Structure 1
Amino acid sequence: MTVEPATGPEPQSVLSPLTTAAIFLVATVDEGGEQSVRDLLADLPGLQRSYGFGAPDGRLSCVAAVGSDAWGRLFGGPRPAELHPFEELAGRRHRAVSTPGDLLFHIRATRQDLCFGLAAEIMDRLRGSVTVADEVQGFKYLDVRDLMGFVDGTENPQGRAAVDAVLVAGEDADFAGGSYVIVQKYLHDLDAWNALPVEAQEKVIGRTKLTNVELDEPASHVSLNTVTDEDGEERQILRDNMPFGSPGRGEFGTYFIGYSRTPEVTEEMLRNMFLGTPDATHDRILDFSTAVTGTLFFAPSADFLDDLPEPPAAAAAERPVPHTRTESPEGTGADGTLGIGDLNRSTAP
């Protein structure tokens, strides 16, 4: 069941339940393509309704998010307080790469054809205005397992806890109802992974493979992704990871996508994984899974998309222009006049 915040701007469908199909589209905005992107973002809720109307049981939804480099190109005025480029992490053995991405479209449904149709419409609208950096079609695998054979997403917050963990509130009032989202595409070496005994796999993950029971393993993937605040309370994110792959190409992976009220929670988890902790030099799952992308975005509220801020040029034109009087020696202006009413106008940055 989708949970909406009690008050404040309406979020996008960030809190929608997990689905059986998804498409993740990451794109960069071409020079001169800003207006086409703005037009698409404004029309996106209507496109989603149109494609989903004939299949209400399909639960079609789409979350649009914008990266740090593109925000100032698309919108004038303030920007989300914690929006910044994804920070690359270079550990002793493994690296979390930072890759380009101005736009993220996270399209979900119970049917892949609905995801496909909406993705095709989005790209038709943006053709010539953006360059696709990555496209992944995700699917539900067995009983919500990843391709390594373990249940994924067990610890997602529910209800009010999900709202508190995921949606920006009064700490950044201009962007209340929005959410930060980090995506990473991981490729798995399944031959090496499946060569491990099940018991060894369970120690790496920190859960039993068959029954999904958490184990007491301080250096496990589960432990390294459990972070707490100064009071010992767990800080949570909302994961909507999906398996993807191509057996013909020998490609098997997990698309990680984590929504959070502040990106620092997900970033701390990633630091634990790649840089290590006192209990572990690194997350041992990285010995079998390689991150090939990494990007940070902000998904603004649905109200924000419904009433986009002015573009940067228009917003700048509306700002008051400061006026400073030019003083010249002996009361004369640079052109030899008395300088009465002579103003030196400079445009605000």
Structure 2
Amino acid sequence: MAAPQPVPQLVLGPPTRAALFLTLTVAPGRETDVREGLGELSGLTRSVAFRARDDALACVAGLSSDAWDRLVGGPRPRDLHPFAPLQGPRHRAPATPGDLLLHLRARRADLCFELARIVLDRFGDAVTVVDEVHGFTYFDERDLLGFVDGSENPTGPDAARAVLVGDEDPAFGGGSYVVVQKYLHDLTAWNALSTEEQERVIGRRKADNVELPDDVKPADSHVALNTVEDEDGEERQIVRQNMPFGRLGTGEFGTYFIGYARTPDVTERMLRNMFLGDPPGTTDRILDFSTAVTGGLFFVPAAALLDDLPAPDTAPAAAAAEPSAPEAAPADAVLPGASLGIGSLKGAPAS
């Protein structure tokens, strides 16, 4: 009789109208406090969700490579490593500080806000919020560029196969890898384009979301560069839960890209295509209008593991180490795991 599969965190939860994305750093010496706080996340979420059972409140937590070493004992997830920045011929994907990612979502923004408030209260000064984004659904699942976002996500069993770690890393089955980037849009420049030219940038029609024919779709369009196949010609997929965000007073408009995958190589391959080009130099034209300002890679452990993370044997030594600043990668940087040569992400981060 096969052993039961670990229960994942709700990375494949139902669609929601609101989301709150928090990136946190952990204060040196406070690893034990944070590890214990992570163990209480599921209970805190249930306490708030109980007040509005039909509104699908969820909180998914992920740890960076550095945070895993500082907070957790025992083995590491097989493919966990720091987010590798990319410096292309024209555009850059930066790596920015972040030990923990909290992805809160619900059908109501007040639930996300209330849970985030309670969770941050629990962590106290053991963490610092280094990025906070409040996302919302924009009309019929469109981004602020006016295109439908997320239509290529797999569903049902296909989604689980694309997102959840399996027998390839049994100690971390039911986990997932998540890459996040905050993109800021130049809406003035974007809106100066005709609809037809916008469609050529994205690779889809704006009104009905239909992909342009291959003989019409430009090689530097967003869709063309983000359709990646394995050696057998099959597309590999991830699940995106992107959200638009904006601040009218400061003129900040953007898309928060968040992609879950069974291996980070899927998303990393897409990013190399976007920022370095495929072939080299043929970079994603969407980057002329959307600038990446953050970047992070996190591992989302299965629910039971998050509830009871093992403490490292060398906690005092690990606690004394300050997180190191990410170093810039050369333009031809090859990310860890690139040898797998797989990946697919149509229409991300904004399609």
TM-score, scaled to structure 1: 0.87
Alignment match of 2:206 (pick from 206, 209, 213): 209
C-alpha displacement at 1:312, in angstroms? 3.3
Instruction: Look up the match of 1:20.
Output: 17
Instruction: Look up the match of 1:244.
Output: 245
Q: Deviations over 1:109-140 (max 9, x none)?
A: 00000000000011111121011110000000
In 1, Cα distance between equivalents of 2:114 and 2:306: 21
SS of residue paired to 1:187: strand
Instruction: Look up the match of 1:261.
Output: 262
Instruction: Look up the match of 2:305.
Output: 304
Instruction: Look up the match of 1:144.
Output: 141
The answer on 1:155 being equivalent to 2:156 is no
In 2, Cα distance between equivalents of 1:246 and 1:184: 17
In 2, are the aligned partners of 1:11 and 1:301 still within 8 Å (CA)? Answer: yes
In 1, Cα distance between equivalents of 2:285 and 2:301: 35
Question: In the TM superposition, what are the counterparts of 1:5-154 in structure 2 within 5 Å?
Answer: 7-154=4-151
In 2, Cα distance between equivalents of 1:61 and 1:305: 14
In 2, are the aligned partners of 1:241 and 1:254 still within 8 Å (CA)? Answer: yes
In 1, Cα distance between equivalents of 2:148 and 2:310: 41
SS of residue paired to 1:128: helix
Question: In the TM superposition, what are the counterparts of 1:158-177 in structure 2 within 5 Å?
Answer: 158-177=155-174
Q: Deviations over 1:205-227 (max 9, x none)?
A: 01111111111313311121111
SS of residue paired to 1:105: strand
In 2, are the aligned partners of 1:77 and 1:315 still within 8 Å (CA)? Answer: no
Q: Which amino acid aligns with 1:205?
A: I
The answer on 1:193 being equivalent to 2:190 is yes
C-alpha displacement at 1:314, in angstroms? 7.2
In 1, Cα distance between equivalents of 2:93 and 2:186: 17
Shift in CA distance, 207/76, structure 1 to aligned 2, threshold 3 Å: same
SS of residue paired to 1:10: coil
In 1, Cα distance between equivalents of 2:315 and 2:116: 30
In 2, are the aligned partners of 1:20 and 1:140 still within 8 Å (CA)? Answer: yes
Instruction: Look up the match of 2:322.
Output: none
In 2, are the aligned partners of 1:76 and 1:315 still within 8 Å (CA)? Answer: no
- The list of structure 1 runs, each at least 4 consecutive aligned residues, that deviate by more than 4 angstroms after superposition, is none
In 1, are the aligned partners of 2:71 and 2:315 still within 8 Å (CA)? Answer: no
Q: Deviations over 1:80-110 (max 9, x none)?
A: 1111110011110000001111000000000
In 1, Cα distance between equivalents of 2:60 and 2:40: 13
In 2, Cα distance between equivalents of 1:100 and 1:134: 9
Q: Deviations over 1:124-162 (max 9, x none)?
A: 111210111100000000111000000000000111110
SS of residue paired to 1:222: helix
In 2, are the aligned partners of 1:219 and 1:279 still within 8 Å (CA)? Answer: no
Instruction: Look up the match of 1:292.
Output: 293
In 2, are the aligned partners of 1:72 and 1:312 still within 8 Å (CA)? Answer: no
TM-score, scaled to structure 2: 0.86
In 2, are the aligned partners of 1:187 and 1:289 still within 8 Å (CA)? Answer: yes
Q: Which amino acid aligns with 2:101?
A: L
In 2, Cα distance between equivalents of 1:252 and 1:7: 44
Higher mean displacement: 216-225 or 23-32: 216-225
In 1, Cα distance between equivalents of 2:14 and 2:228: 24
In 2, Cα distance between equivalents of 1:71 and 1:308: 10
Aligned length: 311
Aligned sequence identity (%): 66
In 1, Cα distance between equivalents of 2:10 and 2:37: 17
C-alpha displacement at 1:280, in angstroms? 6.3
**What 5-or-longer segments of structure 1 have no aligned partner?**
1-5, 317-349
Alignment match of 1:179 (pick from 173, 176, 179): 176
Q: Which amino acid aligns with 1:246?
A: R
In 2, Cα distance between equivalents of 1:312 and 1:179: 25
C-alpha displacement at 1:23, in angstroms? 0.3
In 1, are the aligned partners of 2:14 and 2:56 still within 8 Å (CA)? Answer: no
SS of residue paired to 1:64: strand
SS of residue paired to 1:211: coil
SS of residue paired to 1:120: helix
